[in-house]
Structure 1
Amino acid sequence: MQWLVFSVLVSLTVSWTVADDDECRPKPGEKHVGVRDCCKLELAPATMEPAMKKCMEKFPHPKPPSGPPSGPPSKEMKNAHACMGECFFTEENLLTSDKQVDKDAVIKYFSTASPDLAPLVKKATEECFKSYMADVDPTSECKSGAEQFKKCMMRQIFLNCPSASYTSSADCDAFKAKVEKCPNMPMMMGPPPK
């Protein structure tokens, strides 16, 4: 169940987000593998599910346009993602009182499911802490950068998945290469969560 919540978190983070580069867009008929298919990590703390449900209800995911994604997400979609991420970080006490990402709280929180992952979580957090605010839309209703930070962190964790947890296959290796080339590429392929 925890992996499902983590998958939803990752999916909401990246669903319908594509890079401008055509190589980064999913192609019709392309075999889609997801993060869970390639990197078997347990990052979801037990408290994640209730917080996610609450925030998904508070900031419902707007209905995506029909057909495959064709360009960047709408302003409405970006705002829903930003606010849901901020809500989740607030619920889980991952923001400071002035709505800044709390680096130490994030490291502690995402290391609780598996203490062996602490070095990977710390490295991803340190890397993303340097840059996530540059991706925050100043016109968004929610400006904490929680969503952008989470997106960066999940990408870094996937790209640095420990070899013992990584499925080395042609599909996973191709997916990883695509994620490396395309920073905004969806990491959870398929329809958005219900």
Structure 2
Amino acid sequence: MCCDLPLVYRGTPELFKACREELGFPDHKPPPPPPSSDGHGPHGHPQRGMCVAECLFNRTGLLENGKINKEALKKALDEYLKTDGAWKDVATTTLEICYDAQTRGDFKPDNEKFTSGSSEFLKCFTRNLFMDCIPEKWTDSEECKKMKEKIDKCPKMLPPALFNKRPH
């Protein structure tokens, strides 16, 4: 792991599981789909992430009337960072950047069903924290430097830590 990211808005494992169950998603990873006839396998299920993000944000009060609630985001961030104060400045700035981008309409929902912007906000927040990782949480290696360069060149790419860590 290149950056030990705080997974602020990810919910508890129980909440994550409850959302997956509510949405009818299995609690385990399904086997990979067979490749398509053109040799390229189909893309995964990006809707799952959007569904789960919206469910988590709804259940934790981060959405109000289908919109991201900035005050609730700040409160959740402050509560989470009580035990990880090293991230406070970077995370607070990142919250402002991603919230402002979301409310300006810079994020276009990837799906007509999930228009709250919770998934887009979460992606922005995680990506920006990774790119501005604080020194004491960063692994200074060639592999991590290359990963950061790659993510910098690919604006929609997310850090691998997002997929490797379970919420706590």
TM-score range (shorter-chain normalised) is 0.7 to 0.9
Is the Cα contact below 8 Å between 1:39 and 1:167 reproduced in 2?
A: yes
Give the alignment partner of residue 12 of structure 2, picking from 13, 35, 48. Answer: 48
> 1:170 is matched by which residue type in structure 2?
E
- Give the secondary structure class of the aligned counterpart of 1:143: coil
TM norm structure 1 = 0.65
How far 1:186 moved relative to its partner?
Answer: 4.1
RMSD: 3.1
Query: Aligned residues: percent identity?
Result: 27
Quote the residue 1:32 is aligned against: none
Give the alignment partner of residue 145 of structure 1, picking from 117, 130, 135. Answer: 117
How far 1:141 moved relative to its partner?
Answer: 1.6
Q: 2:13 and 2:71 mapped to 1: Cα distance? A: 21
Tell me: CA distance 1:160–1:66, structure 2 relative to 1, closer, same or farther (3 Å).
farther
Quote the residue 1:87 is aligned against: 55
Give the alignment partner of residue 77 of structure 2, picking from 110, 126, 134. Answer: 110
Q: 1:66 and 1:192 mapped to 2: Cα distance? A: 23
Tell me: CA distance 1:83–1:71, structure 2 relative to 1, closer, same or farther (3 Å).
same
> 2:108 is matched by which residue type in structure 1?
D
Quote the residue 2:129 is aligned against: 157
Which structure 1 residue ranges, 5 or more long, are not aligned? 1-36
Tell me: CA distance 1:45–1:79, structure 2 relative to 1, closer, same or farther (3 Å).
closer
Tell me: CA distance 1:129–1:174, structure 2 relative to 1, closer, same or farther (3 Å).
same
Structure of greater Rg: 2
Which structure 2 residue ranges, 5 or more long, are not aligned? none
Q: 1:46 and 1:106 mapped to 2: Cα distance? A: 12
Q: Deviations over 1:118-150 (max 9, x none)?
A: 22221111111232342313x522211111110
TM norm structure 2 = 0.74
Tell me: CA distance 1:110–1:43, structure 2 relative to 1, closer, same or farther (3 Å).
farther
Is the Cα contact below 8 Å between 1:79 and 1:141 reproduced in 2?
A: no
Is the Cα contact below 8 Å between 1:128 and 1:153 reproduced in 2?
A: yes
Q: 2:133 and 2:41 mapped to 1: Cα distance? A: 29
Moved over 6 A (4+): none
Give the alignment partner of residue 58 of structure 1, picking from 22, 25, 28. Answer: 22
Quote the residue 1:136 is aligned against: 109
How many residues were matched structurally? 151
Q: 2:42 and 2:151 mapped to 1: Cα distance? A: 17
